[in-house]
Structure 1
Amino acid sequence: TRLYGWLHDYQITVFESTPALIVPFMDHIESQGLDISSLRLLITSSDSCSVRDYRRLQERFGSQVRIINAYGVTEAAIDSSFYDEPLAKLPAVGSVPIGKAWLNARFYIVDAHLNPVPVGVAGELCIGGPGVARGYLNRQELTSEKFVVNPYIAGERLYRTGDLARWMADGNVDFIGRIDHQVKIRGYRIELGEIETVMLRFADVKQAVVIDLADEQGNKYLAGYAVCAEELDLSALQTYLQQSLPSHMVPSRLMALATMPLTPNGKLNRKALPVPEESVFAGADYVAPRTTVEQTLAIIWQAVLGVRSVGIWDNFFELGGDSIKALQVSSRL
């Protein structure tokens, strides 16, 4: 209410903020029938905006206000690109593209050696142009790491964003996620953003996040979190992911949340995500071991996999098993 009061009293024309703030704020505007006639431009930025939320904003307010999605970093003068395409070009699911470089910025998507990658191939997004900062004050080592010589334009610097992105066929850029959100589990390098995109395709999932955690034995596993409009059937979601992803990319544990935890500035706070409880462990319906052999196997699986209970229909690999853990089971048997 106070935010709307400022917008109305000062006749604000441009409003830019995170999707986590803009989406509920505009829901409030619509539900209360409030006047936003002063507003000319609405910009979602500073965090990924889901296609679902962006489409709803466009369908409800696009005739009154120009709505675009922005991307940028402080090291390159904040907003460096805008996605401003007709609604028909919006992807069906996932996150809204970050668009094309704007005015004083140039985009490069490169491999680890700063070589450009082809269209559709993921690489690190680097920013060039006069908007790039000189470096970090009194932090020469970090400056040398993140601000590098542009191999394509003499005398220019590139800022290595640490963001993973890919060129789309129409020249827009698709933001995938942070490079430090790449994880390696059971020998596989996994892009967490790709799993999140698949989760967003399921039923009424509004938001999805995947992180890697470690069990009591220090073994890594994938945990998936979803915010859904209705009560979420975790078993059905797990089945869908098994059908849509390679087995090593299917989260071992799933959890439904009412809302995602946010930082004070409205961005997703991954560190505040709760550890999924055993009750939401992805797996088959629990059927207790019946015979002495089954009970012995269950005890060994529990010890090796770091889980509190194992049923006779549980899948070893869905519970976090791999070839190394299989050898541990064999030796204990």
Structure 2
Amino acid sequence: MTDHSTLELGLDTFGDVTHDADGNRIPYPEVIRNVVEQAVAADRLGVDFIGIGEHHRDDFAVSAPEIVLAAIAGQTERIKLGTAVTVLSSDDPVRVFERFATLDAVSAGRAEIILGRGSFTESFPLFGYPLAQYEELFEEKLDLLARLLEEGPVTWEGRLRAPLKDQEVYPKTAGGIRTWIGVGGSPESVVRAARYGMPLMLAIIGGDPARFKPYVDLYERALGQLEQPKLPVGVHSPGFVADSDEAARELLWPGWKLMHDRIGGERGWGPASRDQFEGEADAGSLYVGSPETVAQRIASTVRTLGVDRFDMKYSSGPLAHEHLLHGVELYGGVVVPRVRELLAG
């Protein structure tokens, strides 16, 4: 039997630009302050982790998640603070380390990094990186960041940036920074995480979560063959909690459709249907409903995949701050203890 006693239950948000009661867009500064308020509530209620996404487009307010996380750190005591995700391909590994080492200091050791290539590409032209080097940029920068995380003198050479020779980077941390690799479903990415000895975060945003079990098994086999220690595996999936199943679905549906239709229009997909939404809510990777419904579905996924963390992305499109905050309160106050009870039983 798998021991779930160390399971971590977290929340993620991309800082979606929300609407007020009259359907008007909330200004970016207010959205960011609301994200801080939601994270403070999560800390108070015992949620283990808050992840803030990085985006560079008009429907998301957060482009510098480490600054938002530092603001959260100043108002919280225990919750772990990380990204969902840091787009390493279009960033500089030295600056990534420096920013997170600083966040780790101000939060007394609570900083985490979740690295990814990102599902959006706006950051590449914005920071002057060619999309043609999408894969190579991530691989090379990950290699350098892995060396920096050792916190010793770094001698390193790659093809896409200047080399380093016996370079120290500051500030040093008190105990290192746990750094995950976010994976959307590529076996090569799973093996890469094992090769670098980093925990694996699976982004499961659609379909039956059980289809990701082969990736968990692959990661564990790769760790063994590479003589790496057992490392955590996490899941990131969307969801939303309200007082009842009906209320949760009716509140989430308009924003969910708006977001999917916008992204789908950019990527050549057809419009999202209500049947698609209901299917994901019933048996897919959309954890929407009453606290009991969401808890039961999270517990089922944790059992099926044998993961060590579950992070629910609780924001979706323009869903109002008052509903997001209430959802955070239900997740921390009811869902988290209920999941632990179900798994203990």
TM range (shorter): under 0.3
Tell me which protein shows more strand as a share of its residues: 1
Normalization by structure 2: what TM-score? 0.24
TM-score by length of 1: 0.25
**More helix by percentage:** 2
Larger Rg belongs to: 1
